């Protein structure tokens, strides 16, 4: 049998394993920060109609520039943005890959503050971009001073900031974004996949886009919109950044079905985003309850919570799985991450946690 090692694969991919959380068939799945609520029936119908209307024309390529969808996304974001400021792709993963293809690549460097979203270094690897794992503070925090010092030392072509940060859950102080923008010689990407769940008072980097042509904010419909299966991510930036990613995007990368489904979902955003408040309530309930039980818990502006357990987190992860609750071991010694879903899922998680120290 041929194995990967027998193939003339790139040296830097040898011995690697693909990214992916386990997709296990367990009663309570709280490991990938999905929205636990199914798409409401009226929205199912609207998406069905919109997709059906495209079927006869599938002999033709879709709108390569996805202009109508980009206009809808810009209208959703507000901040005076237009279709020219927005670009869409199959998930924000693809958006970030395109950004690295355009602004990173061989001979170039990308820097991120770990622990953060583990796909950022993998996208760097895939695009031949050298990855610099910069550090966060003891409590997973990041001050402007710490961030700027590391950007100054490495002079990266691309800086990844993640706010709210995955896996810690905490949003960045806007002063950090501003300081990094001042110092960074290249592009600064603020990954805001979880922005809709942020606690009141949190400021999106969208607010500082005017006058900062090297700032890119990435968003997704996978989380708050409950549209992970639809695969729709997007960015907001200066129109010149949109011109740049068009140099590397595959032609017709976003299918007519995806564009139609995403537009129908956006037209029903009130129904879809109606789950956000309920999820934030469960998030705050998990934080409060685990703290009351004596666990260390990171502040969360997202739809998940990072919490500490005693001893080996892999043992605690297994104990929870045996109780039918799948959470995420992100490889941080002593910590696990749980997604906030429905009240019933929170009940099951908190009950299972009684067996974990
Ligand atoms: N950014 C962050 C911080 C994430 O946690 C995720 C999903 N886990 C993504 C981006 C990618 O999401 P998608 O490709 O579904 O838009």
**Cα(254)–Cα(262) distance, rounded to whole angstroms?**
11
End-to-end, the C-alpha distance of the chain in Å comes to: 45
Nearest atom of ligand 1 to the alpha carbon of 32: 8
Structural domain ending residue among the three candidates 269, 293, 316: 269
User: Which residues have C-beta atoms less than 6 Å from ligand 1?
Assistant: 33, 91-93, 117, 162, 166, 191, 193, 220, 222, 228, 233
Q: Give the model confidence (pLDDT) of 42-99 as tens digits.
A: 999 999 999 999 999 999 999 999 999 999 999 999 999 999 999 999 999 999 999 9
Strand spans (E) along 109-169: 109-114, 130-135, 158-162
What is the pLDDT averaged over residues 299-319?
96
Query: What sign does the CA torsion over 47, 39, 267, 86 have?
Result: negative
Structural domain ending residue among the three candidates 241, 269, 297: 269
Beta-carbon contacts of 50 under 8 Å, excluding residues fewer than 6 positions away, are: 260, 261, 263, 264
Q: What local confidence, expressed as pLDDT, does residue 98 receive? A: 98
Going from the C-alpha of 301 to that of each of 97, 192, 205, 273, the distances in angstroms are 25, 11, 15, 16
Share of the chain above pLDDT 90, in %: 94
Q: Does residue 87 form part of some domain?
A: yes
Nearest atom of ligand 1 to the alpha carbon of 117: 3
Q: β-strands 335-339, 304-308: how paired?
A: antiparallel
Mean pLDDT computed over every residue of the chain: 96
Q: What local confidence, expressed as pLDDT, does residue 19 receive? A: 83
User: Residue 48: which CATH number?
Assistant: 3.40.640.10
The whole domain housing 133 covers 41-269
pLDDT band at residue 311 using 50, 70 and 90 as cut-offs: very high
Q: What local confidence, expressed as pLDDT, does residue 18 receive? A: 87
Same domain, 257 and 304: no
Q: What local confidence, expressed as pLDDT, does residue 82 receive? A: 98
Neighbours of 8 (CB within 10 A): 5
Contact criterion met (CB below 8 Å) for 355 and 317: no
CA of 264 to the centre of ligand 1 (A): 21
User: Residue 313: which CATH number?
Assistant: 3.90.1150.10
Structural domain ending residue among the three candidates 234, 249, 269: 269
21 pLDDT more than 90: no
Same domain, 58 and 170: yes
Same domain, 69 and 147: yes
Q: Does residue 7 form part of some domain?
A: no
Angle at 233 between CA 238 and CA 58, to 5 degrees: 110
pLDDT band at residue 278 using 50, 70 and 90 as cut-offs: very high
| Dihedral, CA of residue 226, residue 232, residue 236 and residue 239, to nearest 10 | -160
207 pLDDT more than 90: yes
Q: What local confidence, expressed as pLDDT, does residue 17 receive? A: 86
Same domain, 287 and 336: yes
Q: Give the model confidence (pLDDT) of 3-20 as tens digits.
A: 888 999 999 999 888 887
Name which residue sits closest to atom 13 of ligand 1, judged by CA.
Answer: 91
CA of 7 to the centre of ligand 1 (A): 30
Our mutation pick for probing the ligand 1 site, out of 32, 95, 119, 231, counting the most ligand atoms within 8 A of Cβ, is 119
CA of 188 to the centre of ligand 1 (A): 17
CA 322, distance to chain mean position in Å, is: 28
Q: Give the model confidence (pLDDT) of 28-56 as tens digits.
A: 999 999 999 999 999 999 999 999 999 99
Same domain, 262 and 119: yes
Same domain, 107 and 94: yes
How many domains does the structure of the chain reveal? 2
Same domain, 190 and 291: no
Whole-structure pTM value: 0.97
CA of 193 to the centre of ligand 1 (A): 6
Same domain, 248 and 296: no
CA of 92 to the centre of ligand 1 (A): 6
């Amino acid at each position: 049998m041929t194995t990967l090692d027998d193939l003339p694969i790139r040296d830097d991919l040898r011995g690697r394993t693909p990214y992916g959380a386990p997709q296990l068939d367990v009663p309570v799945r709280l490991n990938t920060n999905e929205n636990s609520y199914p798409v409401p029936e009226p929205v199912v119908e609207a998406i069905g109609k919109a997709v059906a209307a495209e079927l006869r024309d599938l002999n033709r390529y879709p709108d390569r520039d996805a202009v109508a969808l980009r206009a809808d996304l810009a209208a959703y974001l507000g901040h005076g943005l237009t279709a020219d400021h927005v670009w869409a792709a199959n998930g924000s993963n693809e958006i970030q890959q395109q950004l690295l293809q355009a602004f990173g690549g061989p001979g170039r460097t990308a820097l991120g503050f770990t622990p953060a979203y583990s796909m950022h270094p993998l996208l760097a690897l895939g695009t031949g971009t050298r990855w610099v794992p910069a550090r966060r503070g003891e409590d997973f925090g990041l001050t402007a001073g710490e961030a700027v010092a590391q950007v100054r030392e490495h002079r990266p072509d691309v800086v990844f900031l993640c706010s709210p940060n995955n896996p810690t859950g905490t949003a960045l102080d806007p002063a950090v974004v501003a300081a990094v923008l001042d110092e960074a010689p290249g592009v600064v990407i603020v990954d805001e996949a979880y922005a809709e769940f942020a606690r009141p008072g949190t400021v999106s980097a969208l607010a500082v886009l005017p006058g900062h042509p090297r700032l890119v904010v990435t968003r997704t419909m996978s989380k708050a919109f409950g549209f992970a299966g639809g695969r729709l991510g997007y960015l907001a930036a200066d129109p010149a950044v949109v011109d740049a990613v068009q140099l590397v995007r595959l032609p017709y990368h976003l299918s007519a079905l995806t564009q139609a489904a995403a537009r129908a979902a956006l037209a029903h955003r009130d129904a879809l985003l109606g789950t956000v408040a309920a999820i934030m309530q469960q998030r705050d309930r998990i934080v409060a309850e685990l703290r009351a039980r004596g666990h260390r818990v990171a502040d969360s502006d997202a739809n998940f919570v990072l919490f500490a357990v005693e001893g080996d987190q892999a043992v605690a992860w297994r104990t929870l799985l045996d109780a039918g609750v799948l959470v995420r071991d992100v490889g941080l010694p002593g910590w696990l991450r749980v997604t906030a879903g429905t009240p019933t899922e929170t009940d099951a998680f908190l009950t299972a946690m009684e067996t974990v120290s």
